[in-house]
Structure 1
Amino acid sequence: MASSHPGYSAISSESRVQILHLLQTRPLRTIDELVESTGLHPNTVREHLQRLSDDGYIVSQTERRETRGRPRTLYSAATGDEEAMSPVAQRKVQEAAERGDLMRRVLPDTDNGDLNDDELHQIDALVENLIDSGFDPIVDPTDLTIDLSPCAHLGQADDAPTTRCAVHVTLLQAIVTQAGGPLNVDGLRPACNPQDCVIQLRRGSAAT
């Protein structure tokens, strides 16, 4: 069962979603840039960045300067690629795979479709992240879907999809990239009911 407290999730905060969206759109941003774009107090931005870093959603590096002055810290969204890989996210992926392997040994009759070990480990990482984010994911290994309905982060039944959805899809793609394997996040399946949320996975290159 998923957590009943999505408020504890890093993506439950609109401000953190806004910051993540900015970093996903353009990496290597400074705190000053994020303050200007969000209108938040610098200390508030720092707190959000720390939370996002602790959860493995962003990475930072020190600016290389050729002129005098104190180097600034540059922030980027963790993509799972070598140049933007989070050690926190890597640890979570490894631990999720270990727990998934243990569960499959205990419950050998679980239907895993025709998924290979790498694909199973990618889904292990996705499922653990989704549970931590307040969802109750249901995996269909044949259709390569993860059903999150009803959306734990949608306040009203008539809410339209928001930036949060796009940010979350990008986060999930970073997780499967970090885990390694042939699966990628294709996006969300179209739905008439805004509370319906089904993630479509596919084998092959990531959707652009």
Structure 2
Amino acid sequence: MSQSPADASAEQARTASRRRVLAAVRASAGGCGVPEIARRTELHPSTVRFHLDRLEHDGLVSRQVRRSGEPGRPPLTYTANPVPDAGREHREFAQLAEVLAQLVKRTSTDPAAAAIAAGRSWGLARTQPPAGATGTTGALEALVAALGEIGFVPEMEATERGVSILQRHCPFLEVAQNHQNVVCSVHLGLMRGILERLDAPVTVERLVPFASPAGCEAHLAAVPGPSSPARGRRGTGIGTIAGSAQ
């Protein structure tokens, strides 16, 4: 049974809140309790406890009883568990990506379009909507940060020809070499989904796989259509960023 738009939206909100809770725990080396996490994330303590239970179940955090010597139930302290070594599991993830890429090619009449749609959904789901309007500079900084977290080692370049993002490393390189149309389309959709969630005045026009020995290049363009507050903000357009490099 497919998930309704309302259910999908609610799940995305829960996922975003859970990430905020996990980030707050990871930011505290000595651990922290529910009240402190609630203050940092601006979430209700009951909501924080709900997400902590899920994070503990998933093995991402651990809780300890803080012995204070005072009467009453001792408070709990939560600490983040070490992040797994993704490189150690590289072979297993590569095999899974290979299977999924083959599935898309076998079952879709337009594998590239299906892969772009999947990547867009990934980008929308992993990105928290902004509190206000997002200009080009802020959106691109957020995009570069997100790509870095995934492992692309991105670098933004602005020249007289325009703005692009160089991807110096591809975490799916081995699979992309065999299924470039699918894997690179997922990557393209991912970037578009992130920028769409940010309501950015810019999008990724095209992705050039293996554009140079340095890596792949994502070329950016202004979003066409009616102006929004972000799109009309002075000094935040693609032309402004590119012009600054001249």
Task: Please classify the TM superposition score into its range, dividing by the shorter chain length.
Answer: 0.3 to 0.5
Structure having the higher Rg: 2
More helix by share: 2
Q: Which has the higher contact order (CA 8 A, sep 6+)?
A: 1
TM-score where L is the length of structure 2: 0.39
TM-score where L is the length of structure 1: 0.45
